[in-house]
Amino acid sequence: MADDVRFSTPELVADYRAERLKCDTIVDIGAGYGFQSFAFAKKCKKVYSIELNEQVCARAKENLAKLENVEVICGDALDPKVIEKIKKADIVFCDPERLPSEKERTMATIKPFLPDVVEKYSHLTNNFCFELPPHIRDIPFDCEKEYLSLFGKLNRLDIYVGDLKNCERSAILLPGEHFLRGKRKPVEGPLQKYLYEIDPAVLLAGLEGEIKGVKKTSNKYATADEEVESPYLPQKYAVLRVCSGHELKRVLRDMFCGKVIIRYPIDPQDYWKERNELEKGLSGKRVLHLFRLNEGFVVAKLIE
């Protein structure tokens, strides 16, 4: 199975999901090479692993051959003949196929069409979990939206339908399984002594208000007058100076800056052009980080 890991769900994600979806019998639709089914098999008594692609399904059978509680089914998960093979199910999980070239993710282009999955399997269970692109729009289910961050980077969105729903939105950070949920709106405030990056899963879930000890700035950052330690704030900066655009080069020189890390939104094609322009004429040894907030340009130092 090691040869197929690069095509599959990361192990930390697969194990977390298996723990959350632990039950007697689970159906894994779009199982691929079987990596998620392998994790389910450690937590569930029975796993039905369904894969449409015949070659991929054959490899899944090889990978899962030693597991007596996994039944691999090659075929279309919406085909009545496939569904007839499933005797019972507590939960149906589906990792659907997405078009890699889409600029904007939509439910219409996901295969299988997830409302059809719910309709076809509703005689077995009302509990469904679907993996979706994190920025997808128009989710047609009453569900919990769980945004998952892996090593500080947004990794995926899982939605939980039926009795699996615990709240409206949640965020999970792996490793460590730091879990956040709630409804409090973030308190916004002016820039203070410290600036914090907020984990992208927390931002997308809209749960910044659940992070204690900080206020939200004018965009995606948090701020506080004291140092705050939180797994939801992966990067911390000390604010050194706030200035206008025409003051910026002088401020950088006065602070003995040699390299500038741009932290404000910029087209990737323009990043190095703008950074080279900022660093022109700088001869210091300090590496400083540059933000742009309502207050102006913010020069800050990363706190390791």
What is the H or E stretch that residue 119 is in? helix 114-121
Give 127's pLDDT tier (boundaries 50, 70, 90).
Answer: very high
Nearest to 282 by CA among 245, 232, 248: 248
Mean pLDDT of 138-157: 94
What does the alpha-carbon distance between residue 144 and residue 123 come to, in Å, rounded to a whole number?
22
- Give residue 144's identity as a one-letter amino acid code: E
Give 185's pLDDT tier (boundaries 50, 70, 90).
Answer: confident
Give 2's pLDDT tier (boundaries 50, 70, 90).
Answer: very low
Q: Are 155 and 182 in contact (CB under 8 A)?
A: no
Give 135's pLDDT tier (boundaries 50, 70, 90).
Answer: confident
| Lowest model confidence (mean pLDDT) among 32-36, 96-100, 246-250 | 96-100
- Average pLDDT of the chain is 93
* pLDDT attached to residue 49: 98
Set out the domains of the chain in order of their start, with CATH numbers: 2-140 (3.40.50.150), 235-304 (no CATH)
* pLDDT attached to residue 102: 61
Give 99's pLDDT tier (boundaries 50, 70, 90).
Answer: low
What is the dihedral sign for C-alpha 48, 51, 52, 57? negative
Mean pLDDT of 273-286: 96
Q: State pTM to two decimals.
A: 0.88
What is the per-residue burial (b if ≥16 Cβ within 10 Å, else e) of 109-146? ebebebeebbebbeebbebbbbbbebebeeeebebbbb
Q: CB under 8 Å to 272, separation ≥6 — which residues? A: none
* pLDDT attached to residue 149: 96
Residue 34 has pLDDT above 80, yes or no: yes
Using one digit for the tens of pLDDT, what is the confidence trace for 188-225? 999 999 999 999 999 999 999 999 999 999 778 999 99
